[in-house]
């Protein structure tokens, strides 16, 4: 099966595209708000003018989203095709090691990959309208806050607008709200969606190969960074078809959460009487370290977004200092844990 580092690699191009779009949308909002924000000559008309400029914002955000829509199908299909090939390669190595013939005809079956790619592209595209609304809502909120601040005398327009933009930068461009009410920013949702379907494509390629060779059993690896959701499945032998009695099925394991996005577990061919499933060792510390690294990555990206939406040089310099501070925390964490630093996860691409 596909491992977490491979799924991250496969999703990287789509993640980069959505991070770039997120940064460009944020910078567009900031740029439109910054125009004439300190000009007293427009004190009475500034809010009205800014509300009219929302048409400009909408047009620019639609263009950014249109570029995403054009590039995403090819990127997703390439990622999922690579994932399926990865699954096939793992299966072929397993079967060859066991002296079992690999059915080459399995490799040309791309129908399931195309279907997964289409569903993933549609899911990503469905976020675009929400993104457009979110961008306009933030812009309107910043304009309203700036107007109120001037009227009450509590803040300048710049200060009030910056306060709204900072909150916006902390959470990112919201593109999806799940069933639990959690709001996903655009880039995080895109990565999650691609990694999830990449795992499915790899699993499908692998189990198709085993099934084509007349084999029905696989076993789940022991992972150095398992989560509580997947831990019960470590070392378990699973039936692909459900026809081998006495074993839970692959479908049951997946429904229970195994091979979720970011899952670190693999699976390999199981031959009764010959294969020895791995000795299961719990490692909650590894999982906690991975979560801490994700937290630091999110912090770095958040301050880079604040830098991108800064309305003046002083605010920008403060954000840059915070980026360096969080990068220092990341260096200390990497030195202490000896983990691999994934610098691409700390980027927001081009903000301008």
pLDDT tens digits, one per residue of 242-284: 999 999 999 999 898 888 776 777 788 888 877 877 676 666 6
- Average per-residue pLDDT for the chain: 85
Helices 157-171 and 284-308 cross at an angle (nearest 10°) of 150
Does the pLDDT value for residue 298 go beyond 80?
Answer: yes
pLDDT at 352: 37
Query: Taking residues 60-70, what's their average pLDDT?
Result: 95
User: Which segment of 124-128, 149-153, 328-332 scores lowest on mean pLDDT?
Assistant: 149-153
Measured from the Cβ of residue 115, the count of other Cβ atoms closer than 10 Å reads 13
pLDDT tens digits for range 31-48:
999 988 887 655 667 888
User: Nearest to residue 165, comparing CAs of 346, 315, 324, 326?
Assistant: 315
Listed residue (323, 299, 298, 297) closest to 310, CA to CA: 323
CA 246/CA 225 separation, integer angstroms: 28
How far is the C-alpha of 120 from the C-alpha of 139, rounded, in Å? 29
């Amino acid at each position: 099966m596909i491992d977490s580092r491979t799924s991250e690699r496969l999703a990287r191009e789509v993640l980069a595209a959505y991070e770039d779009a997120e940064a460009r949308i944020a910078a567009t909002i900031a740029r439109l708000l910054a125009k004439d924000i300190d000009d007293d000559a427009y004190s009475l008309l500034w809010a009205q003018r800014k509300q009219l400029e929302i048409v400009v914002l909408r047009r620019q955000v639609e263009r950014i989203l249109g570029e995403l829509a054009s590039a995403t199908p090819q990127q997703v299909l390439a990622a999922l095709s690579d994932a399926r090939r990865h699954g096939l390669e793992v299966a072929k190595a397993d079967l060859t090691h066991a002296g079992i013939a690999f059915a080459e005809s399995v490799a040309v079956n791309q129908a399931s990959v195309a279907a997964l790619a289409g569903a993933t592209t549609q899911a990503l595209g469905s976020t675009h309208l929400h993104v457009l609304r979110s961008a306009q809502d933030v812009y309107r909120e910043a304009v309203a806050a700036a107007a109120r601040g001037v009227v009450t005398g509590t803040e300048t327009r710049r200060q009030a607008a910056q306060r709204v933009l900072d909150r916006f930068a902390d959470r990112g461009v919201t593109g999806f709200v799940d069933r639990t009410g959690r709001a996903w920013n655009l880039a995080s949702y895109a990565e999650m969606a691609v990694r999830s379907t990449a795992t499915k494509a790899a699993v499908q390629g692998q189990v198709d190969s085993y099934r084509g060779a007349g084999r029905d059993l696989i076993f789940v690896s022991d992972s150095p960074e398992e989560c509580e959701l997947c831990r019960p499945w470590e070392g378990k032998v699973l039936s692909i078809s459900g026809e081998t009695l006495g074993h839970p099925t692959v479908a049951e394991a997946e429904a229970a959460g195994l091979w979720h996005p970011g899952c670190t577990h693999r699976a390999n061919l199981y031959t009764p009487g010959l294969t020895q499933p791995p000795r299961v060792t719990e490692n909650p510390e590894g999982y906690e370290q991975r979560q801490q690294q994700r937290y630091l990555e999110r912090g770095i990206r958040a301050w880079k977004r604040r830098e991108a939406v800064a309305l003046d040089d002083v605010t920008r310099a403060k954000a840059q200092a915070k980026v360096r501070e969080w990068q220092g925390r990341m260096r200390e964490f990497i030195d202490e844990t000896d983990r691999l630093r994934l610098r691409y996860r700390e980027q927001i691409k081009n903000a301008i």
